[in-house]
Structure 1
Amino acid sequence: MRGDGETELAESTVDAETPLADATVGGEWWATGVVYQVYVRSFADSDGDGVGDLAGVRSRLGYLELLGVDALWLSPVYPSPGVDHGYDVSDPRDIDPLFGSLDDFDGLLADARRHGIRVIIDLVPNHTSDQHEWFRAAVSAAPGSPERSRYHFQSEPNNWQSVFGGPAWSRVAPEDEYYLHLFAPGQPDLNWAHPEVREDLEKTLRFWCDRGVDGVRIDVAHGLAKPEGLPDDRRQPGWTVVEDGTPDPRFDQDGVHEVHRLIRGVLDRYPGRMAVGEVIVRDDARWSAYVRPDELHLAFHFGLLNCPFAADEIRDTIDRTIAAAGSAPAVWTIANHDVPHPVTRYGSLERARAMALIALALPGTAYLYNGEELGLPDVDLPDSALQDPTWRLSGGTDRGRDGCRVPIPWEGEGPGYGFTTGTPWLPMPESYGALTAAEQLEDPDSTLSLYRRALELRKEHPAFRGAQIEWFGAPENCLAFRRVGTTLVCALNTGDRPVPLPPGDVLLTSADLTENGELPADTAAWLA
């Protein structure tokens, strides 16, 4: 970055020998940390091919340190045909040349440590690419062969549907068997009852832990088991649903917990490592099972991510998330690579900024998605630019997730805005010119400046030490809570008129207070 930020970045690095695990009591850095999700393809491109890469991430570590995050989570960078932009993995123990090499990865780890930042990688254990050596061997083998037993092959498909649209079964060839893929046809589901599948995951976990990664994010953590016999989905047409809440047979099978105990068993042999799961389970009691003491350290509840901008619903969601987490730290996020940016989802930048302060004020760990701190909206891309497999597999009825994956604008002008010297893999709009990181670093009122100040207070102010919250009475369409045992109070106004603030000294607000010191509509405040 240009300007004053460059000096500040250079002066704020830590000694490469500093043991990062000492950052929190007991080494449990993940219990209160702030993790920044890097969607690598869209973060920073070092070689001008229009696609972000590991060297690009390394070049922006100073920015992440200046922002104040504790760790970064890398989207998949393994060899992949790119059917689902890396979530179709052909080799889980290597780096795709599109992103660099294992040497580049090792260099990123070393540089991140010098900046005081940990690194989490994305594991994709539910499925492989159809170009994985196992699946190529399965296709070449006969029905009933050992090669096919690592996946789910059947002579006749059941009625399951793909998450991306269309049937969840594809035929290998005419007169041959069908194979199961809960996502794209290029992502065949693994059979987690097979011992070789489990052994291979252990090997992958050891490979990356030995290289020095600090944690893993488990993709589709609720999907790593299938019901015996793969019965039909009774929620589909042709079945009579006898009760509401008929379970989805594709996910959240009891056998999944054996896999997570396996993962935990490997990670426990590497002090300071953690696992966070993508757990999409709407029943809170069943969700809680994923964060039992011998399973995942953390799991995404996604309640806040899916909650509308309404005080009563936000309060209820916070209570549910904390209760479901139990003794595990709660995880808070309002953005990721699968949902519209907060500015678009909530309908305004003001609401997105307010919700950021809510998420960052809560006890537990917080996850940010790259570009969230710049207040980026989703981009309305032309049909010809869309690349998400959901667009094609839904027959053009679902535009997919590309709108929230447009590359990050760093500085300067289009078409690359400092992201690339070439043509970005997704087009970047002219409106990004006013939202670059360079511009926002110089503006004390920018969304980037808001996030920087919020993360600084969260890390350094003693009011953020409380592990529980208690609610205060608040006007209609408002909420206010305090971190128990501290002086921190967070207030939010989701109504349409200003309201009085709770007592206390104002630490930070998502927008200016009114002339008489009241909290405006669509605004949050921290007080102590």
Structure 2
Amino acid sequence: MTASNPTPLTSDDDWWRTAVVYQVYVRSFADSNGDGVGDLRGVRERLPYLRDLGVDALWLTPFYTSPMVDGGYDVADYRDVDPMFGTLTDFDAMITDAHALGLRIIVDLVPNHTSSAHPWFTAALAAAPGSPERARYLFAEGRGAHGELPPNDWESIFGGPAWTRVPDGQWYLHLFDPAQPDLNWRHPEVRAEFEDVLRFWLDRGVDGFRIDVAHGMIKAEGLPDVGFSSMTTGRRQSELLGKGRLPYFDQDEVHEIYRAWRPILDSYPGGRMAVAEAWAETPQRLARYIGPDELHQAFSFDFLDATWSADSFRKVIDTALVEATIVGAPTTWVLSNHDKQRHVTRYGDGEVGLRRARAASLLMLALPGCAYLYQGEELGLPEVLDLPDELRQDPSFLRTGESRDGCRVPIPWSGELAPYGFGPEGGEPSWLPAPATWAALSVAAQSGVPGSTLELYRTALGIRHSHPALGPDAGEVNWLETTGPGVLAFRRAVGEAELTCVVNLSDAEVLIDGYGRPVAASADLTEQGVGHVLPVDAAAWFDRR
């Protein structure tokens, strides 16, 4: 079956270079049928909200057929929609409506592993060691006198060993949950399958892919030991992510995969793209994923990890911009996602965290490149830290006590009581409960309210789209001298148009003068003479044309 209207938007093949992409965690965005779980029809119904917010594209987390052990990142069928989220017909209707509203659709692709419920893996378990069915995955003999020990010392990112033994004595690799067996990407059948999966969704009109664990598909030959483990040193191997080399991540051969994928993407009209969720030990190795013969973008998680200081943000921004110049691709900025604690909470929680989060959003949206927003950040949502343990569903929580559920609570739309318009009136409670304090943070409560976080985002995104100095033809970041070490200021310009972003990360208010008139501010500015006073933990944009 193909979509009735799979034609993508074609106005700008380079749309992804400056786009603002809104991440939709599908099961927590909007519930159309009252079962307490978000779905594709819910996304479709809320598309006008996203159009009016001012984003360019949506990135949808996995909605494929899945047992949902890891929130859909355990895929049992890459070419169908899980009944929890709807049908392929619902997907087709959603993408048609999105394109009609000028919104592009990016879908999550999970190529490192399948679900243990995938037909390939059930066939592998039913087959004998050494069979063609097992060759699609990474099965190995154990160590020890009777093969009772795992083949090596590799650890799961979710904690514990990365190997599970099957009844006939062999072990299979799973770098995440045991329900997510890793594929053998040296097998030609695996490569052919995913090239076909790409075409399946491109034929339906998707505009791009977010590649999950893009650094993980190739493992070092011989499956060598890392050399340390949490059992022997107390240090988890996952602590090396982005800092050191692991034999199961960022192997050179992985780039062969993306060099085979790029011509497929390029063969479709409309600027189809792919962005890597990749971790590498150096910026230079991360940059290898990007280029005219590989992927279009890779997430820059350093910006997300920056501490609340001018020095930290300045260093991260400068490094990212240099790397972008080297590879000829735009930087991707991100403050939160479905795997990380929301930045309101990371920055201090409460009023302090919200002030800083609002300022950080103006900083991010003024930078050149592509920005990724996580659903609910435009509402100023904090992390939900007090979810009852029995309601948590993150498999990492069961193995390590660490949970990502707090950033996945369904967002509030309207009303005084949970689930705040997430589903139709009279429906089931949302799959994770929203706090009582979220009534004041709902879309309805903030819409049209001057100074609300939602209106700040709408204002900033509107300016980003309309101001020449923030457009695709604008200049790069030009850092300006400031009144103190805790203040960042930079200007972007094209022709006579200039926009200056000033962020006060110091512990005292500062006087801003000479940059033009303020057009957006994360906190109220006070006029003083011909200038304006910028409060602590605040940012503002100044326009001069």
SS at match of 1:349: helix
Alignment of 1:325-336 (within 5 A): 325-326=324-325, 327-336=328-337
- Does the aligned pair in 1 maintain the 2:412–2:439 contact within 8 Å? yes
CA offsets 1:230-270 (integer angstroms, 9 cap, x no match): 1001243669x9xx965222211101111111221211111
- Does the aligned pair in 2 maintain the 1:364–1:467 contact within 8 Å? no
Change (3 A) 1:502 1:251: farther
Give the equivalent residue in structure 1 for 2:499.
Answer: 488
Structure-2-length-normalised TM-score: 0.90
Query: 1:481 Cα deviation (Å)?
Result: 1.1
Equivalent of 2:165 in 160, 164, 171: 171
Query: 1:484 Cα deviation (Å)?
Result: 4.8
Give the equivalent residue in structure 1 for 2:486.
Answer: 477
- Alpha-carbon distance between aligned partners in 1 of 2:475 and 2:339, rounded to the nearest angstrom: 29
Alignment of 1:224 with 2:211, yes or no, is: no
- Alpha-carbon distance between aligned partners in 1 of 2:279 and 2:63, rounded to the nearest angstrom: 23
Equivalent of 1:501 in 512, 515, 519: 512
SS at match of 1:217: strand
- Does the aligned pair in 1 maintain the 2:8–2:206 contact within 8 Å? no
Equivalent of 1:21 in 7, 10, 13: 10
Query: 1:105 Cα deviation (Å)?
Result: 0.2
Give the equivalent residue in structure 1 for 2:534.
Answer: 519
Change (3 A) 1:484 1:281: farther
Gapped regions of structure 1 (runs ≥ 5): 1-15
- Does the aligned pair in 1 maintain the 2:415–2:421 contact within 8 Å? yes
Gapped regions of structure 2 (runs ≥ 5): 143-150
The count of corresponding residues between Structure 1 and Structure 2 is 503
Give the equivalent residue in structure 2 for 1:6.
Answer: none
Give the equivalent residue in structure 2 for 1:77.
Answer: 63
State the Cα RMSD in Å: 1.7
Alignment of 1:468 with 2:476, yes or no, is: yes
Equivalent of 1:377 in 379, 382, 390: 382
CA offsets 1:190-241 (integer angstroms, 9 cap, x no match): 11100000000010000000011111110011112110011001243669x9
Deviates more, 1:161-170 or 1:516-525: 516-525
Query: 1:524 Cα deviation (Å)?
Result: 0.8
- Does the aligned pair in 1 maintain the 2:469–2:493 contact within 8 Å? no
Query: 1:172 Cα deviation (Å)?
Result: 1.6
- Alpha-carbon distance between aligned partners in 1 of 2:511 and 2:46, rounded to the nearest angstrom: 41
Equivalent of 1:355 in 337, 360, 371: 360
Alignment of 1:123 with 2:109, yes or no, is: yes
Give the equivalent residue in structure 1 for 2:31.
Answer: 45
SS at match of 1:93: strand
Equivalent of 2:457 in 434, 441, 451: 451
Equivalent of 2:204 in 182, 187, 211: 211
Equivalent of 2:133 in 132, 141, 147: 147
AA aligned to 1:432 is W
AA aligned to 2:503 is L
Structure-1-length-normalised TM-score: 0.93
- Alpha-carbon distance between aligned partners in 1 of 2:479 and 2:154, rounded to the nearest angstrom: 43
Query: 1:447 Cα deviation (Å)?
Result: 0.2
CA offsets 1:71-95 (integer angstroms, 9 cap, x no match): 1111000000000010000010110
Alignment of 1:373-412 (within 5 A): 373-380=378-385, 381-394=387-400, 396=401, 398=402, 400-412=403-415
AA aligned to 1:223 is G
- Alpha-carbon distance between aligned partners in 2 of 1:128 and 1:344, rounded to the nearest angstrom: 33
AA aligned to 2:525 is L
- Alpha-carbon distance between aligned partners in 1 of 2:61 and 2:318, rounded to the nearest angstrom: 30
CA offsets 1:382-413 (integer angstroms, 9 cap, x no match): 1121110011011x3x2x10000000100013
SS at match of 2:337: coil
Deviates more, 1:480-489 or 1:377-386: 480-489
- Alpha-carbon distance between aligned partners in 2 of 1:311 and 1:413, rounded to the nearest angstrom: 39
- Alpha-carbon distance between aligned partners in 2 of 1:440 and 1:246, rounded to the nearest angstrom: 44
SS at match of 1:21: coil
- Does the aligned pair in 2 maintain the 1:287–1:324 contact within 8 Å? no
Give the equivalent residue in structure 2 for 1:180.
Answer: 173
Change (3 A) 1:482 1:235: farther
Give the equivalent residue in structure 2 for 1:413.
Answer: 416
Change (3 A) 1:193 1:52: same
- Alpha-carbon distance between aligned partners in 2 of 1:84 and 1:341, rounded to the nearest angstrom: 19
Alignment of 1:285-296 (within 5 A): 285-296=284-295
- Alpha-carbon distance between aligned partners in 2 of 1:99 and 1:287, rounded to the nearest angstrom: 34
- Alpha-carbon distance between aligned partners in 2 of 1:389 and 1:68, rounded to the nearest angstrom: 34
- Alpha-carbon distance between aligned partners in 1 of 2:475 and 2:80, rounded to the nearest angstrom: 39
- Alpha-carbon distance between aligned partners in 2 of 1:18 and 1:358, rounded to the nearest angstrom: 35
Alignment of 1:158 with 2:164, yes or no, is: no
AA aligned to 1:521 is V
- Alpha-carbon distance between aligned partners in 1 of 2:7 and 2:68, rounded to the nearest angstrom: 37
Give the equivalent residue in structure 2 for 1:248.
Answer: 246
- Does the aligned pair in 2 maintain the 1:414–1:428 contact within 8 Å? no
CA offsets 1:82-119 (integer angstroms, 9 cap, x no match): 00010000010110011000000000011111211111
SS at match of 2:491: strand
Calculate percent identity across the aligned residue pairs: 56
- Alpha-carbon distance between aligned partners in 1 of 2:284 and 2:382, rounded to the nearest angstrom: 34
Give the equivalent residue in structure 2 for 1:262.
Answer: 260
Give the equivalent residue in structure 2 for 1:319.
Answer: 318
